Amino acid sequence: MAISIAHLGPQGTYAELAALQYSTWLTHEFQQESRLCPCPSIAQTLRAVTQGQADLAVVPVENSIEGSVTTTLDTLWQLDMLQIQQALILPISHALLSQANAIELIKSVYSHPQALAQCQVWLETFLPTAQLIPTNSTTEALQHLEDDPTVAAISSQRAAQLYHLPVLDCPINDHPDNCTRFWIMGLQPSPGGSHTSLAFSVHDVPGALLKPLQVFADRGINMSRIESRPTKRSLGDYLFFIDLEADAREASIQAALAEIVDYTEVLKVFGSYSVLPTQSPPILEG
Amino acid sequence: MAISIAHLGPQGTYAELAALQYSTWLTHEFQQESRLCPCPSIAQTLRAVTQGQADLAVVPVENSIEGSVTTTLDTLWQLDMLQIQQALILPISHALLSQANAIELIKSVYSHPQALAQCQVWLETFLPTAQLIPTNSTTEALQHLEDDPTVAAISSQRAAQLYHLPVLDCPINDHPDNCTRFWIMGLQPSPGGSHTSLAFSVHDVPGALLKPLQVFADRGINMSRIESRPTKRSLGDYLFFIDLEADAREASIQAALAEIVDYTEVLKVFGSYSVLPTQSPPILEG
């Protein structure tokens, strides 16, 4: 039976591209069929799994230029039960889509704020007077193109193919090493792997954050990332999201996780997982 | 002579409200006159000071609900010379502005993505089918109101007064303790005070972050905040922004700052400063 994979839609978003890569991998590796379920927001993508409407959710965690995707972290903290099944790193290549014959004709550019930010220098160089207008997704930006040659959108090349839109320039992102890390979340127990992710809040005492970090350092466990998020209780009160280069099936990690319970207020372990090797973009059907 | 204070404009933004509070304080405390200079972006607000077009810049650093204002942190890392002169905490109270006679008539709501996110539960409860449309600032959202009674905007009550727009409901933010911390940046040397902020990148070795944190902990210096940002070089490579509850004029802090040079790649100290007591919103002229 085909498993269902929720992602931020509509068709043509980078989240869909990540979901397609994972789906291709499932077919090649396990002959497992899957179908994609586009959702209107990241929060609804994750809730689709906790509410039983989808088997898996593919969500962006962080981008190499713009940093954490805070909606993903905040929603994961609120929801229980979800475990990371796999990580996946997608190279991001932004294209300028427009009906214009020449770049000089463009007066306004629509895109998701993250995409506009990732092309900031390019936009300041080639379209210094264009109005930059934010949209809820890179695909939503395409709705504004219609037949107006003074309007452009920043989106993926896949979106250009899907919606038959001309590409004026690609890639236009300022940093060539632009990539986004995605997590594939599900209700199955953690599969194990080289990375472990967790989040915790701490008691409001001086040095509260250092204690849990020390527990990992004392055992030689490398922390590859720390991200703070507000608890939303009051200014200066934070949660911490941490990635470890370690597998929670190992005894030393289990001991560390047992020990930090004493130094944290609430602790959530999102499990251990491996990182899917980056593949070339899936071939477009049709 | 009046000093000039740059802030994200146009009139009616929360940044302008923070700049007004600071300006009022300067008058009361030092009989120092000032004038406000609205800028089109946070980056341009900060550059107005480094390029000599303004004396001070008032910029948002973090919100108690949505977290860090990443543009501010990323721009401060790029620019040299700027020192924090003062911190200021502004309570945030969002209002729903519309020409509609009743909330039921509203079909779309415009605002800055941070403001939309901060009113998410209210919007899901009272306007579950309304389209949420992002804008570059809360004030820009007001341009969409005109005489269309199916459109609403989320902005400040000051904006409602300034632009003579009806307030349908206020406050509509989901968390009552919603507030934003601002920094007042300038080229003068650090004035000293109870808080010190700095940022650093680390060498790519296991445990690289823990060493500098340990230096502060060993001296009993409390860290009130840690925020990571991508260096934009490659995924997994971070800068760290840290706030200390300490004054860099003290010998122990100076020793700690001298010591962490050995454990960091690039270190930038933004200086020591005090936090302005929260005041009631300034009275609106006219």
Topology classification of domain B95-177: D-Maltodextrin-Binding Protein; domain 2 (3.40.190)
Give the model's pLDDT for residue B279.
Answer: 60
Question: The tokens of A242 are what?
Answer: 């941490």
**B174 min Cα distance to partner chain A (Å):** 10
Q: Say if the Cβ atoms of B66 and A62 lie within 8 Å.
A: no
Q: Say if the Cβ atoms of A235 and B62 lie within 8 Å.
A: yes
* CA angle, B122 then B123 then B128, to 5°: 125
Q: Is A174 helix (H, G, I), strand (E, B) or coil?
A: coil
Q: Which residues of A touch B (CB under 8 A)?
A: 62-67, 70-71, 89, 113, 117, 132-136, 175, 177, 179, 181, 206-207, 209-210, 213-214, 217, 220, 222-230, 232-236, 238, 245
Q: Classify residue A142 as exposed, middle or buried by CB count within 10 Å of its CB (0-12, 13-18, 19+).
A: buried
pTM assigned to the model: 0.90
Give the model's pLDDT for residue B282.
Answer: 46
The CATH homologous superfamily to which domain A190-274 belongs is ACT domain (3.30.70.260)
Strand partners, B19: none
**B33 min Cα distance to partner chain A (Å):** 31
Q: Which residue has the tokens 């703070």?
A: A228
Question: The tokens of B22 are what?
Answer: 């600071």
**B180 min Cα distance to partner chain A (Å):** 8
CATH 3.30.70.260 domain locations along chain A: 190-274
Question: The tokens of B153 are what?
Answer: 């905007």
Q: Say if the Cβ atoms of B238 and A225 lie within 8 Å.
A: yes
The CA distances from residue A132 to A20, A99, A127, in Å, are 30, 17, 10
Candidate CATH numbers 3.10.180.10, 3.40.190.10, 3.40.50.150, 3.90.190.10; the one for domain A1-91+178-188: 3.40.190.10
Q: Say if the Cβ atoms of B210 and A233 lie within 8 Å.
A: no
CA-based nearest residue to B235, from A93, A229, A68, A94: A68
Q: What whole-number distance in Å separates Cα of residue B270 and Cα of residue B199? A: 8
**B135 min Cα distance to partner chain A (Å):** 6
Q: Say if the Cβ atoms of A210 and B213 lie within 8 Å.
A: yes
Give the model's pLDDT for residue B5.
Answer: 98
Give the model's pLDDT for residue A279.
Answer: 59
CATH 3.40.190.10 domain locations along chain B: 3-91+180-276, 95-177
Complex confidence, ipTM: 0.88
C-alpha dihedral, B258 to B264 to B267 to B271, nearest 10°:
-50
The CA distances from residue A238 to A204, B24, B194, B226, in Å, are 9, 31, 20, 9
Of A113, A213, A220, the CB nearest to B213: A213
Q: Is A250 helix (H, G, I), strand (E, B) or coil?
A: coil
Q: Which of B140-168 are b and which e, b meaning 16 or more Cβ less than 10 Å from the residue's Cβ? A: bbbebbeeeeebbbbbbbbbbebbebeeb
Q: Say if the Cβ atoms of A213 and B217 lie within 8 Å.
A: no
Q: What whole-number distance in Å separates Cα of residue A68 and Cα of residue A64? A: 9
Reported in sequence order, the residue ranges of B108-166 that DSSP labels E, i.e. its strands, are: 108-111, 131-134, 151-155
Question: The tokens of B216 are what?
Answer: 């502060």
> Which of A44, A68, A197 is the best substitution to test chain B (most B C-beta atoms within 10 A)?
A68
Give the model's pLDDT for residue A209.
Answer: 86
Domain B3-91+180-276 matching CATH 3.40.190.10: the answer reads yes
**A239 min Cα distance to partner chain B (Å):** 11
In this structure, the number of other CB atoms found within 10 A of the CB of residue B169 comes to 15
**What value does the mean pLDDT take over residues A29-36?**
95
Q: How many CA atoms lie within 13 A of B218 on its CB side?
A: 12
Handedness of CA B10, B11, B14, B20 (dihedral sign): positive
Q: Which residues contact A113 (CB under 8 A, 6 or more apart)?
A: A134, B113, B134
Q: What whole-number distance in Å separates Cα of residue B121 and Cα of residue B124? A: 5
Q: What whole-number distance in Å separates Cα of residue A173 and Cα of residue A182? A: 19
Q: Say if the Cβ atoms of A62 and B235 lie within 8 Å.
A: yes
- The helix (run of H) or strand (run of E) holding residue B103 is none
| Tens place of pLDDT per residue across chain B (286 aa) | 899 999 998 899 999 999 999 999 999 999 999 999 999 889 999 999 999 999 999 999 999 998 999 999 999 999 989 999 999 999 999 999 999 989 999 999 999 988 998 998 999 999 999 999 988 889 989 999 988 899 999 999 999 999 999 999 999 999 988 999 999 999 999 999 999 999 999 987 777 888 898 899 888 898 889 999 999 888 888 999 999 999 999 999 999 999 999 999 999 999 999 999 776 554 444 3
The backbone torsions φ and ψ at residue B128, rounded to the nearest 5 degrees and listed phi first, read: -60, -25
Q: Say if the Cβ atoms of B113 and A134 lie within 8 Å.
A: yes
**Residues A201-204: contacts with CB under 8 Å, at least 24 apart:** A201/A231, A201/A237, A201/A238, A201/A239, A201/A240, A201/A264, A201/A265, A201/A266, A202/A238, A202/A240, A202/A263, A202/A264, A202/A265, A203/A265, A204/A237
**What value does the mean pLDDT take over residues A135-150?**
89
* A63 vs B contacts (CB less than 8 Å): 230
Handedness of CA B71, B77, B79, B80 (dihedral sign): positive
Topology classification of domain A95-172: D-Maltodextrin-Binding Protein; domain 2 (3.40.190)
> Which of A174, A200, A227, A229 is the best substitution to test chain B (most B C-beta atoms within 10 A)?
A227
Radius of gyration of chain A (CA): 21
Q: What whole-number distance in Å separates Cα of residue B197 and Cα of residue B223? A: 10
Specify whether the CB–CB gap between B272 and B188 falls below 8 A.
no
Give CA A118 to chain center in angstroms.
15
CATH 3.40.190.10 domain locations along chain A: 1-91+178-188, 95-172
CA-based nearest residue to B178, from B245, B253, B92, B251: B92
